[in-house]
A and B are shown apart, each in its own frame.
Chain A
């Protein structure tokens, strides 16, 4: 009995270590939680164009299309990294509607950024106060969502996209 009590810490240690080990090996990253929005309908949004405040976009306008939504900003360095990949994507999938949301940015800075690095988006919406990002549950920039023809979010990625991710995770869904 006494030995049993003294054995307890070792047993607890084993159990905790095993759980931690499984957790580490399963490659889960707590900073990238699965979106609660996954497989749900895309939240309502309405946003003005970066280039012309009179033109606006909402989901009605891109209904029945596959839409790739990307939140970006000129101050976001990782966004700059993934930026060129969208050109390739739009070339290969001309039917895909790539919608960029310029997040908490200055209009001039955003325009300058897209002028210098090019504009791969079919439409650039302004999300100046971050309300749209809030609706989408965006944690940090960049963040990318894929919406299917039925208006359901079928994929979400936090952080800069890479060639591998586009190839292995996004293209199979297109």
Chain B
């Protein structure tokens, strides 16, 4: 029943959007409420989404999708998240978020009504494209041909609170770019050539980018504790394709903040707006077509791949074609000096685009090579680390002072203070690393990270009178975001460069020591949980003869899908994580792997600051 409701309301929503599109171009007399129709289609799409969720929550196995991806003894939260834990449902989530953005835009105040209509029409066209994709290749409302009492279960690796909310947040970022895309295209097509859309796009781009940041971080955090590989970023193709729109989105957010009517910047912003959404769809295509091998194992299906490739081609091609045909003319030249705000922006934009292209090349290079030579190669961490990081470094160096650079002149206020700060940091870091472990990347990363934090703090105190109010927070918000970046860089550098790894082959009751921490491998227990069997090894952590923590690490066995997942045990401290992985048992001994990951918590803290400051930025007038 709910499947029927879901399917009908989705079809109706698509139909309404068709009507909207048709009437916009062919009906002269438009005396109906445009906004209302958009909202109606959004509501119908959401009804469709919630009816699928309802089928999941009630374990309605007459729905084929529920049968394949759910199980009645799954906890409620995973029944809910199961809705988007599969290909069909996640595409429905995609289009639902698209609808929500359409809805929100329809209630936004826009002075130029024609422009608003055009934007909504473009948004509706996107809805139609993805809607047809769902109906024809990925219908989540198919009825099960046989009557069954039980489902096949959700992939256990997805049964995790972090991963339950990762897709919606990530999609809120990806799909948010659709509004920017629609705005940019409508801005290009709109004959009444004013720049209102740039100011509207500012907020939407910041919202999307903030969600994308949160989504990527959630995925990364999940990978850190669930995959049991001891790291948090693996240059996995799916990670890369989320990083590309993130970087271009970052460039977009900054360009939009800086624009003061320069036409060349406007062109650039339009380009970025189209690019961001294109890369989002490109990412969807690569994941959904199964072209890439990655931890995101989704069923591959050529027809789906072709359909999304077509959508990607149509949307991106249309976007860039309109851009080609209707580029705004250069009128007001850009005020480029050696070191002013605009030049810093241009340099950082160029660096971000080069970074994106580098990642793009590394990600699709294996596909190109395989098509041409039929050989399979793999491009992994070493390529990305040795290309992406050096390209980004000058940008990091610049970003610390960029917010306080002047618009008009080459002068940087308190330049001496910054230079002095930089020198002191460099000397301290060099001396510190000389006496501990010297590593070039470690030194560079630490200097940059600390420099960004310190320079941002100097900027705050030298440019503003500090008062404790929300308005003040809004004012210094850019610096806060940059401090977040600095903190994250320190975390990233330390956790990847100074990571240590220990292997043990030990029995219950054995004790060992890592630096000043005494660890007891107490015992191994197995328990039966609702939908899995858990094997847990208990570790007691003692410092200065005092018990400070009791960490459990192990594995889960999911009988329904016959899969084993590793559950890392992590002892969090501010300055390091002790990361436990339990391996196999052999001759009464257990194989235990321990990573010491310094400063990992700084990464999450830094990202959290960025996300918060993103939301604060949205509230700014």
Contact = CB atoms under 8 A, between A and B. Distances in A.
A25 B309 CA distance: 12
Most central of A6, A23, A26 by chain B CB within 10 Å: A23
Interface in B289-341: 289-293, 297, 300, 302, 305-306, 309, 312-313, 316-317, 320-321, 323-324, 327
Contacts of A21: 306, 309
A77 B153 CA distance: 14
Contacts, number: 70
Nearest to B306: A24
Nearest to B375: A34
Interface string A10-24: 100100110111111
Contacts of B297: 31
Interface stretch (B365-373, B480-488, B536-544, B596-604): B365-373
B364 A13 contact: no
B367 A20 contact: yes
Chain A interface helix/strand/loop/mixed: helix
B596 to A, nearest CB: 28
A9 B282 CA distance: 14
A44 interface: no
Contact of B291 (A13, A17, A20, A76): A20
A151 B529 CA distance: 48
B371 A23 contact: yes
A168 interface: no
A6 B327 contact: yes
A129 B584 CA distance: 10
A140 to B, nearest CB: 10
B313 A19 contact: no
Contact of A22 (B290, B324, B371): B371
Contacts of A10: 317, 320-321, 324
B271 A31 contact: no
B291 A30 contact: yes
Nearest to A30: B293
A174 to B, nearest CB: 26
A20 B309 contact: yes
A54 interface: no
B376 A24 contact: no
Interface string B345-388: 00000000000000000001001101100001000000000000
A13 B317 contact: yes
Contacts of A27: 302
A164 B271 CA distance: 50
Contacts of B320: 6, 9-10, 13
A9 B327 CA distance: 14
Most central of A9, A10, A28 by chain B CB within 10 Å: A9
A39 to B, nearest CB: 15
A3 B309 contact: no
Interface in A20-78: 20-31, 33-34, 75-77
Interface in B261-277: 271, 274-275
A167 interface: no
Contacts of B271: 9
A7 interface: yes
B285 interface: yes
B290 A29 contact: yes
Interface residues of A, number: 28
B290 A30 contact: yes
A65 to B, nearest CB: 31
Contact of B302 (A6, A7, A13, A24): A24
B66 to A, nearest CB: 19
B285 A20 contact: yes
A9 B367 contact: no
A19 B364 contact: yes
Contact of B300 (A2, A3, A31): A31
Contacts of A34: 376
Given A22-B371, A24-B305, A33-B376, A17 B327 contact: no
B291 A7 contact: no
B562 interface: yes
A12 to B, nearest CB: 9
Contacts of A129: 584
Nearest to B274: A9
B562 A75 contact: yes
Given A6-B323, A19-B368, A19-B371, A24 B313 contact: no
Contacts of B312: 17
Contacts of B323: 6, 9
Contacts of B584: 129
A75 B291 CA distance: 28
Contact of A7 (B278, B300, B324, B364): B324
Contacts of A13: 278, 313, 316-317, 320
A27 to B, nearest CB: 7
Nearest to B559: A75
Nearest to B313: A17
A121 B305 CA distance: 39
Contacts of A31: 290, 293, 297, 300
Contacts of B291: 20, 23-24, 30
A24 to B, nearest CB: 5
A10 B314 CA distance: 11
Contacts of B562: 75-77
A21 B297 CA distance: 21
A162 B278 CA distance: 39
Nearest to A77: B562
B300 A17 contact: no
Interface in A86-143: 129
A2 B364 CA distance: 28
22 contacts: A6-B323, A6-B324, A6-B327, A7-B324, A9-B275, A10-B317, A13-B278, A13-B316, A13-B320, A17-B309, A19-B364, A19-B368, A20-B364, A21-B309, A23-B291, A24-B291, A24-B302, A27-B302, A30-B293, A31-B297, A76-B562, A77-B562
Given A17-B312, A31-B293, 20 more contacts: A6-B327, A9-B316, A10-B321, A13-B278, A17-B309, A19-B368, A20-B289, A20-B364, A23-B367, A23-B370, A24-B302, A24-B305, A24-B306, A26-B371, A28-B370, A29-B290, A30-B291, A31-B300, A75-B562, A77-B562
Q: Report the 5 A-B pairs with minimum CB-CB distance, sorted nearest first.
A: A30-B293, A9-B320, A24-B305, A10-B320, A75-B562
